[in-house]
Amino acid sequence: MPPGIDSLKHIVVLMMENRSFDHMLGALKAKDPRIDGLTGNESNPDAAGAVVKVQALAEFQGQLDPDPDHHFPGVDLQIFNGDNGNPRVPNMQGFVRSYFQQQHDAQHAQKIMYYFTPDKLPVLTTLATEFSVFNRWFCSIPGPTICNRAFAHYGTSFGQVGMNIFEIRVPIKSVYERLDQANPRRTAKIYYFDQTSSTMEIVNLLQHQPQLFGTFDQFLADCKQGRLPDYSFVEPNYNDHDSDSGALIASDQHPDHHVQAGELFIAQVYNAIKQNPDLWSSTALLVVYDEHGGIYDHVPPPACTPDGFVAQPNDTGTGRAFAFDRLGVRVPAVLVSPWIPKGTVVDGRIFEHASIPATATNFFLGSYDQRTPREKSAETFLDLLSLSTIRTDAPEFQVD
Amino acid sequence: MTVIKVPKPPKSAMNPDRPASSLLKTQILHMQEAEFRLPVQQQTNIYINRIKTEREAAEYIRQVTAQLHPEGATLVTDIAAMAERPPHPGRKGKIRAAGKTKPTRKVSAKRKKG
């Protein structure tokens, strides 16, 4: 086994909010053609049929207001542009039309095609180019946050395509419960930012298993003191609020929160791990986004192994049932470890949020059967830790 | 070793009076679901339908989470971890959404059993 896997003790997942791959990393294609980003010729028709091209004009805040539609019917329009044929082929041509429907402002709707230049995202860009970036990491459902995050925790959303509270169906357990109840027991924790931001996993996890939770301050302390659990899931700050220590700007990058605040947060997570040498050499950090937020991406989501659930037409809002047999839109995903060759571009393999519990369960528990077919067939990512010698050239982030 | 400078967002990025996003509204609904299962004396007196802004949402979330996970209020003694946060005069912003009347809520199972 490669020494990176032999020495691996911790997996950390940081899940950010609502940005597509092309929006955040598409410009990197110009720097590295292996990265499946933007050429500049990608386009969508507007409501009148005029061509709207992608443009490197994304700003940190103030553009994507109102929040672009990222619920199931809206995303269906974005992916299929109103095609009602059978079968349907995703064409990724409906983003401008979808955003236009929110305000009927043709000029404003074009902003859904804007993307960031790399200099504006020094942290994500650095991690993507210094470590590994996934060309094909898709969100698990063509829909919103709650059901997508569920795939990261359970390998399924139990038939949910929306934001409603979902009911856990035994015997599927969260990855945290699997580890906690294993013999020998493994450790897992969800670190939410603070009580005022809290977690998105309230009803099923925080309410019933509060012992699984910690705060971001505790994450920082645990990194410094070498007490990080085997598996950690980190949530950013979901809202602007004051605290005893000062004003805290939302760091989740969900529109219309400031993107630089999220960059800062990602840097803090990275630095916390890297500044403890023992932790740095034994940790794999995945930075991923829960869904695309309604923002343009050019790669059609592929079909996938169903998870055994079906959402009925009344629940999808599209007039069609959904068998969880197609992934959602592509999102940024980078894997960080000093055992990953510099400039790794992961191509030709499909990843999605079920890859997260699949990877953690396979690594910490080995054989484990009580999972959905979707998770059992999901790609895992620890093979990227392939170097025979640990790198000593990893960058550091200096927070001003 | 390469050192990458990471700029902080401007203070103007902070706007807790912006309308609560659909994500925050969902989080509030989920919080309420959990809150109604708490003993009555631990429930907030906040009528969530009157929550409009991010500030109001944040305060409700804080109060419910404090009941669900009181350990989350533990102060960090690691000064290095706190050093990156800017100083601030103090917390402000009482929630405006506390209503004088609230819709009927479920009585907790404990109280039903008496």
In a domain, B74, yes or no: yes
In a domain, B66, yes or no: yes
Report which of residues A179 and B98 the model is more confident about.
A179
Put simply, the answer to whether A240 touches B22 (Cβ < 8 Å) is no
In a domain, B107, yes or no: no
Number of domains in chain B: 1
The pLDDT of residue B106: 45
The interface pTM score, or ipTM, of the predicted complex is 0.94
**Separation of alpha carbons A262 and B13, rounded Å:** 12
Put simply, the answer to whether A203 touches B69 (Cβ < 8 Å) is no
Q: pLDDT digits over A371-398, tens only? A: 999 999 999 999 999 999 999 999 999 9
The pLDDT of residue B45: 86
Give residue A170's pLDDT band: very low, low, confident or very high (50, 70, 90).
Answer: confident
How far is C-alpha A398 from the geometric centre of its chain's CA atoms? Answer: 24
Task: Please return the burial class of B98, using the count of CB atoms within 10 Å of its CB with bins 0-12, 13-18 and 19+.
Answer: middle
Residue A368, min C-alpha distance to chain B (Å): 30
Output DSSP code: residue A114: B
How far is C-alpha B23 from the geometric centre of its chain's CA atoms? Answer: 13
Average confidence (pLDDT) over A252-257: 97
Q: pLDDT digits over B7-66, tens only? A: 999 999 999 999 999 999 999 999 999 999 999 999 998 999 999 999 999 999 999 999
Tokens 């791959």, residue? A21
The pLDDT of residue B31: 94
Q: Is residue B93 pLDDT above 50, yes or no?
A: no
Residue of B nearest to A121 (CA): B6
The pLDDT of residue B87: 41
Share of chain A above pLDDT 70, in %: 100
Give residue A1's pLDDT band: very low, low, confident or very high (50, 70, 90).
Answer: confident
User: Cα-Cα-Cα-Cα dihedral of A330, A157, A219, B21, to 10°?
Assistant: 70
Give the residue ranges of DSSP H helices in chain A: 3-6, 21-25, 72-80, 95-103, 106-109, 122-130, 145-154, 175-180, 216-225, 259-274, 277-280, 313-316, 355-365, 373-377
Q: Is A386 on the interface with B (CB under 8 A)?
A: no
Average confidence (pLDDT) over A110-120: 98
Put simply, the answer to whether B15 touches A198 (Cβ < 8 Å) is no
Q: Are A138 and A331 in contact (CB under 8 A)?
A: yes
Average confidence (pLDDT) over A308-330: 96
Tokens 């400078």, residue? B5
Q: Is residue B88 pLDDT above 90, yes or no?
A: no
**Residue among B29, B44, B69 with most chain A CBs within 10 A, to mutate:** B69
In a domain, B95, yes or no: no
Q: Is residue B77 pLDDT above 60, yes or no?
A: no
Residue of A nearest to B59 (CA): A196
In a domain, B32, yes or no: yes
Residue ranges and CATH numbers for the domains of chain A are 3-27+117-384 (3.40.720.10)
In a domain, B57, yes or no: yes
List A43's β-bridge partners, or say none. A53
Structural domain that includes position B21: 17-81
The pLDDT of residue B74: 67
Give residue A58's pLDDT band: very low, low, confident or very high (50, 70, 90).
Answer: very high
Residue of B nearest to A204 (CA): B34
Give residue A137's pLDDT band: very low, low, confident or very high (50, 70, 90).
Answer: very high
Output DSSP code: residue B70: G
- A122: chain B residues, CB-CB within 8 Å: 4-6
